[in-house]
């Protein structure tokens, strides 16, 4: 299987060709938004951190920002900083340039003399990059260049018995074709971690999966929180899920059945191909953020109750098996798998259907969230602000 993508100098393939306007801190977010609005082909993110933070959180922010810039869907990057943030824009630029050959430029609002002067210079730079990006043509790329993020959110009873198994079937088909997939949200393995660990390709990976869940529970208990009592969320309960175990047993279905070849920390780039899992929080937007920073060039997102979420850098394909949700939130939902619930679609047939939708996505078809220009970002903090 092939798709028409944008081949990057470091060898990876993008399915989009964005110029990314990247704030190095929260104070650069509004200027970044204005610059992106002035340049066709540019996208921006709104970053809510990047300063006045402890070292571990700063490191995570930098990991996310550099990962965004290196994502294969990005052609080039314009960084906008303030000038007094924890990691200055010039240092962030140098970090990115050390990891990729993409064009990267940066500006500091304090150095340039304020917002308007910065926006003017950054817009000119972004227009030059956009013109260059427009000259790049799609070329045939092997499906092995696909790194698909797999996510769920706003779950209900249909998620675990229909849409998640269908996406698991999609994952298996893609892995068999040579692609790679990442499933995250490790808190939503708890209660089903022993089932997930059976898929480990090695004993070491099996033990890693178990340890991730043990460490997560210990971390929460140290803060006086019991995830088994506090999950699932009120929305999940309203959707028919009663316990974290029930939620987890449905959640892990979306990762498929193929051997798990690697366990990643959040926002970490994979070193192997195949079925992969990532240790992230249970908040779907922060999990998507981490997978995009790890290099996913597309995300498939199952939901029972419905969600509008999207990402500026990668397309997020929204899938539901709840007929009411698809009809009621048709403006947000991309794929209707409610035929599974009615007995009109089998799981293998649904996997084939999703593979066809994925092929369209890889070749340029926009998701509904993309068409709206949605951009949801959340960085999971390892500890509190100082």
287-302 confidence digits (pLDDT tens):
999 999 999 999 999 9
Region of poorest pLDDT, from 30-39, 60-69, 90-99, 373-382: 373-382
pLDDT in the model for residue 240: 62
Beta strands, E only, 118-201: 139-142, 147-152, 180-183
pLDDT in the model for residue 14: 98
**Which DSSP category does 193 fall into?**
H
User: What percent of the chain stands above pLDDT 90?
Assistant: 80
Cβ–Cβ under 8 Å, residues 28 and 44:
no
Looking at every residue in the chain, the average pLDDT score rounds to 92
Instruction: Tell me the mean pLDDT in the region 28-48.
Output: 96
Instruction: Tell me the mean pLDDT in the region 77-91.
Output: 95
- Distance, CA of 284 to CA of 141 (rounded, Å): 29
Q: 343-373 pLDDT, tens per residue? A: 999 999 999 999 999 999 999 999 999 999 9
pLDDT in the model for residue 260: 98
- Distance, CA of 19 to CA of 160 (rounded, Å): 37
Query: Following CA atoms 9, 11, 15, 19 in sequence, which dihedral angle do they give, to the nearest 10 degrees?
Result: -30
Query: 153: number of CA atoms within 13 Å, CB side?
Result: 24
Region of poorest pLDDT, from 8-12, 166-170, 172-176: 8-12
354: which 2 tokens?
């999703």
pLDDT in the model for residue 385: 40
Helix spans in 147-233 (H): 157-158, 164-177, 193-197, 203-222, 227-230
- Distance, CA of 85 to CA of 83 (rounded, Å): 6
Instruction: Tell me the mean pLDDT in the region 185-199.
Output: 91
Query: Following CA atoms 80, 13, 17, 101 in sequence, which dihedral angle do they give, to the nearest 10 degrees?
Result: 40
Can you give the pTM of this predicted structure?
0.94
Cβ–Cβ under 8 Å, residues 56 and 86:
no
Q: Which of 310, 302, 299 is nearest to 361 (CA)?
A: 299
**Whether residue 386 has pLDDT greater than 50:** no
Q: Which of 287, 288, 350 is nearest to 320 (CA)?
A: 350
User: What percent of the chain stands above pLDDT 70?
Assistant: 93
**Whether residue 204 has pLDDT greater than 50:** yes
**Whether residue 241 has pLDDT greater than 70:** no
């Amino acid at each position: 299987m092939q798709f028409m993508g944008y081949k990057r100098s470091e060898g990876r393939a993008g399915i989009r060709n964005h110029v990314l306007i990247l704030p190095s801190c929260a104070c650069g977010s509004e200027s970044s938004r204005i610059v992106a609005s002035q340049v066709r082909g540019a996208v921006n993110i709104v970053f809510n951190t990047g300063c006045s933070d402890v070292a571990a959180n700063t490191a995570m922010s930098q990991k996310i920002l550099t990962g965004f810039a290196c994502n294969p869907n990005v052609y080039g990057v314009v960084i906008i900083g303030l000038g007094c943030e924890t990691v200055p824009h010039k240092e962030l630029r140098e970090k990115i340039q050390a990891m990729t050959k993409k064009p990267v430029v940066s500006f500091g609002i304090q150095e340039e003399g304020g917002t308007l002067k910065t926006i003017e210079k950054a817009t000119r730079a972004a227009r030059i990059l956009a013109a260059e990006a427009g000259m790049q043509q799609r070329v045939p790329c092997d499906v092995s260049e696909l790194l698909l993020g797999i996510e769920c959110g706003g779950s209900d009873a249909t998620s675990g018995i229909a849409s998640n198994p269908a996406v698991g079937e999609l994952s298996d088909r893609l892995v068999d074709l040579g692609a790679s997939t990442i499933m995250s949200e490790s808190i939503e393995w708890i209660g089903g971690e022993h089932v997930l660990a059976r898929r480990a390709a090695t004993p070491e990976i099996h033990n890693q999966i178990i340890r991730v869940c043990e460490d997560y529970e210990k971390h929460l208990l140290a803060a006086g929180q019991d995830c088994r009592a506090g999950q699932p969320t009120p929305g999940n309960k309203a959707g028919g899920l009663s316990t974290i175990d029930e939620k987890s047993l449905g959640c892990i279905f979306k990762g498929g059945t193929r051997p798990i070849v690697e366990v990643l920390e959040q926002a970490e780039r994979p070193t192997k191909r195949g079925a992969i899992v990532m240790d992230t929080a249970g908040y779907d937007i922060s999990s998507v953020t981490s997978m995009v920073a790890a290099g996913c060039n597309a995300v498939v997102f199952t939901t029972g109750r419905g969600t509008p979420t999207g990402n500026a850098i990668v397309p997020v394909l929204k899938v539901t098996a709840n007929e009411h949700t698809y009809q009621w939130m048709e403006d947000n939902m991309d794929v209707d798998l409610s035929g599974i619930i009615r007995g009109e679609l089998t799981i293998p047939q649904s996997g084939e259907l999703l593979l066809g939708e994925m092929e369209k996505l890889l070749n340029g078809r926009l998701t509904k969230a993309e068409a709206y220009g949605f951009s949801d970002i959340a960085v999971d903090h390892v500890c509190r602000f100082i």
